[in-house]
């Protein structure tokens, strides 16, 4: 959840706090309020965990968002909870004092929805993992990360299909769907959720499953975090890991013509290839020298895996192996766990970004792909630290994901083939003009595919600039999600810049 006061309001409450009139905070409605100086002491006395204040060791690290563009929302305090009871106490305290709050697991919300100028409820200590290998089940704390989960299953006979960035929290991942390099053949993360525990707006603790609070369970599988309550525990069924070696491939390319060929080949393969074939590709502009041809100054790669033989892969993916402009190639059989580890990534140096995603349900016309590559060539910023990237993710479609119908869970994006994702990236020191140019470029990329795609975007890649975000994230499931929100949080205690509101 997120709330940012206006600059004028922040200055006003900061001045009053400085002269000893209490603690400056804000309400969920964005109004400045003043708490007694003992308010946070009272909260700390009720917690098994601890309350961090500005100036305390670890305070900045505990709230600073992964996406640096939201680093202006400095919280009043951080409650580093030790258990589920602490979470409930924080909810009671925020409601009783009228203080806005945000829930932070991994802190990777693309839209900064885990930041606030109120209280950050830090779940990072709730990161336990337990694997029941007899039942093929895993139980995790609400803030276990991809790294925690990967370590718990590594080299085992079972695993949980998850994301790629090791620092991402399971709560954010599963509650919004959960896609990655294995979702095409093993399913999205939320489809493997069998049970969740949640602290409600009233501070109660409930469980949700197919047989208990079934409507809430439906909503938690794709309705995104921070909407219905605070999930403190999840239970998943696990997937059998491939026992035979799999094909790993990566082809690096250079030049606009090669990028066009790459995107076209991947897009065509994603239309009807078996779920055992997985591909992801991207391209970006590179810095220009005095005599550099802008169309030559483009680099990219395609990589993925194939759960089958090398012979079958080369028969299927021949177009990827015959691309012009190839600069490097890796093509080999490897143990599946080695490939899986290679698809994970550590935390990057802190920077800012503004991705927008758009699902595709059919092949893009050649003219649209050519336009996308032209936009890469014409990107207004192309330095190493400030530039645009274009991704095509083949993680989102196929027969395994489509076993569920669009309304079976809150994750509505079934029947899709791929995802186009322009990703503008800038250093935290970029100018406002540089950011504006990249955001305009992103809009142009989406406009190029708009006529050929459904108006659907991935809720785990949120962007505050989307005007109709509810429709893009949830489509025909929106009305049911509003009903669930109204049932479990009728007063809208859980709120952010992109939280479903209860029905009035």
420: domain CATH number?
A: 3.40.462.20
Output 291 or 274, whichever has higher pLDDT. 274
- Domain match, 95 and 180 both: no
What CATH number has the domain bearing residue 11? 3.30.43.10
On whether residue 321 sits in a domain, the answer given is: yes
What CATH number has the domain bearing residue 134? 3.30.465.10
Question: Is residue 113 within 8 Å of 66, Cβ to Cβ?
Answer: no
Using a 10 angstrom Cβ sphere, with 0-12 exposed, 13-18 middle and 19 or more buried, the burial of residue 317 is: buried
> What's the pLDDT score for residue 22?
65
Between CA 480 and CA 466 the distance in angstroms is: 21
Q: How far is C-alpha 165 from the chain's CA centre?
A: 10
On whether residue 501 sits in a domain, the answer given is: no
Between CA 310 and CA 292 the distance in angstroms is: 38
Between CA 102 and CA 95 the distance in angstroms is: 13
On whether residue 172 sits in a domain, the answer given is: yes
Between CA 228 and CA 171 the distance in angstroms is: 13
In eight-state DSSP terms, residue 48 is S
Number of CB atoms found within 10 A of residue 127's CB: 19
Q: Residue range 429-445: average pLDDT? A: 98
On whether residue 314 sits in a domain, the answer given is: yes
On whether residue 19 sits in a domain, the answer given is: yes
- Domain match, 252 and 336 both: yes
What Å distances lie between residue 134 and 138, 144, 238, CA to CA?
Answer: 11, 22, 11
On whether residue 504 sits in a domain, the answer given is: no
On whether residue 375 sits in a domain, the answer given is: yes
- Domain match, 392 and 462 both: yes
Question: Is residue 382 within 8 Å of 169, Cβ to Cβ?
Answer: no
H-type alpha helices, 221-379: 256-272, 310-316, 318-321, 336-342, 366-377
On whether residue 117 sits in a domain, the answer given is: yes
For the chain, give the number of residues.
504
3-state secondary structure of 435: helix
Question: Is residue 75 within 8 Å of 118, Cβ to Cβ?
Answer: yes
Using a 10 angstrom Cβ sphere, with 0-12 exposed, 13-18 middle and 19 or more buried, the burial of residue 399 is: exposed
In eight-state DSSP terms, residue 145 is B
- Domain match, 320 and 339 both: yes
What Å distances lie between residue 347 and 106, 149, 179, 427, 463, CA to CA?
Answer: 11, 16, 18, 15, 21
- Domain match, 148 and 59 both: no
pLDDT tens-digit readout, 6-57: 333 343 333 334 334 467 777 777 788 888 879 999 999 999 999 999 999 9
- Domain match, 154 and 116 both: no
pLDDT tens-digit readout, 110-130: 999 999 999 999 999 999 999
Using a 10 angstrom Cβ sphere, with 0-12 exposed, 13-18 middle and 19 or more buried, the burial of residue 193 is: buried
> What's the pLDDT score for residue 26?
78
- Domain match, 289 and 436 both: yes
Lowest-confidence region among 3-17, 315-329, 377-391, 485-499: 3-17
pLDDT at 5 over 50: no
- Domain match, 422 and 382 both: yes
What Å distances lie between residue 261 and 257, 278, 297, 306, 454, CA to CA?
Answer: 6, 18, 16, 20, 24
Average pLDDT, the chain: 93
- Domain match, 254 and 386 both: yes
Number of CB atoms found within 10 A of residue 290's CB: 4
Beta strands 137-141 and 129-132: pairing type? antiparallel
- Domain match, 235 and 250 both: no
Residue at which a domain ends, from 122, 154, 179 = 122
Residue at which a domain ends, from 72, 96, 122 = 122
Question: What's the token pair of residue 41?
Answer: 């002491």
Domain count, the chain: 3
pTM: 0.94
Rg of the Cα atoms in the chain: 23
3-state secondary structure of 430: coil
Site of tokens 């924080």: 90
Q: Residue range 236-249: average pLDDT? A: 97
- Domain match, 197 and 255 both: no
pLDDT at 177 over 60: yes
Range of the domain at 190: 129-241+474-488
Percent of the chain with pLDDT over 70: 96
- Domain match, 71 and 152 both: no
Residue at which a domain ends, from 104, 122, 140 = 122
Q: Residue range 438-443: average pLDDT? A: 98
């Amino acid at each position: 959840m997120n709330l940012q006061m206006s600059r004028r309001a922040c200055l006003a409450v900061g001045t009053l706090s400085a002269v000893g009139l209490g603690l400056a905070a804000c309400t969920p409605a964005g109004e400045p309020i003043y708490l007694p100086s003992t308010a946070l002491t009272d909260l700390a006395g009720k917690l098994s965990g601890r309350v961090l204040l500005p100036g305390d060791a670890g305070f900045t690290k505990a709230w600073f968002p992964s996406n640096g563009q939201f680093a202006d929302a400095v919280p009043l305090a951080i409650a580093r909870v030790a258990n589920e009871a602490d979470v409930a106490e924080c909810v009671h305290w925020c409601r009783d004092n009228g203080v806005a709050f945000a829930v932070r697991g991994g802190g990777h919300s693309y839209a900064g929805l885990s930041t606030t100028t109120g209280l950050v409820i830090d779940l990072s200590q709730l990161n336990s993992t337990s694997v029941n290998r007899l039942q093929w089940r895993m139980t995790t704390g609400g803030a276990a990360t991809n790294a925690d989960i990967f370590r718990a299953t590594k080299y085992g006979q079972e695993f949980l299909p998850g994301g790629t960035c090791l620092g991402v929290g399971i709560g954010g991942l599963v509650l919004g769907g959960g896609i990655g390099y294995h979702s095409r053949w093993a399913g999205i993360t939320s489809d493997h959720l069998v049970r969740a525990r949640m602290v409600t707006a009233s501070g109660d603790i409930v469980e949700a499953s197919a047989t208990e609070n079934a409507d809430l369970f439906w909503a938690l599988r794709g309705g995104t975090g921070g909407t219905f309550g605070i999930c403190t525990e999840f239970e998943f069924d696990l997937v059998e890991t491939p026992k035979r070696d799999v094909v790993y491939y990566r082809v690096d390319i250079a030049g606009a013509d090669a990028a066009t060929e790459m995107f076209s080949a991947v897009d065509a393969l994603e239309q009807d290839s078996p779920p055992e074939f997985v591909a992801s590709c991207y391209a970006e502009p590179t810095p220009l020298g005095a005599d550099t041809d802008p169309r030559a100054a483009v680099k990219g790669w395609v990589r993925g895996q194939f759960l089958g033989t090398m012979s079958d892969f080369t028969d299927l993916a021949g177009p990827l192996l015959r691309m012009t402009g190839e600069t490097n190639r890796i093509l080999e059989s490897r143990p599946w766990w080695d490939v899986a580890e290679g698809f994970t990534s550590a935390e990057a140096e802190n920077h800012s970004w503004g991705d927008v995603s758009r699902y595709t349900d059919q092949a893009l016309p050649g003219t649209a792909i050519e336009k996308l590559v032209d936009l890469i060539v014409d990107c207004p910023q192309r330095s190493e630290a400030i530039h645009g990237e274009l991704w095509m993710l083949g993680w989102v479609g196929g027969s395994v994901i489509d076993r569920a119908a669009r309304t079976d869970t809150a994750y509505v994006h079934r029947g899709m083939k791929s995802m186009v994702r322009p990703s503008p990236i800038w250093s935290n020191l970029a100018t406002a003009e540089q950011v504006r140019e990249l955001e305009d470029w992103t809009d142009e990329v989406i406009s190029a595919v708009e006529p050929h795609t459904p108006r659907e975007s991935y809720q785990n890649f949120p962007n505050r600039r989307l005007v109709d975000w509810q429709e893009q994230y949830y489509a025909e499931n929106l009305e049911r999600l509003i009903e669930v929100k109204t049932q479990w949080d009728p007063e809208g205690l859980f709120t952010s810049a992109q939280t479903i509101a209860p029905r009035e």
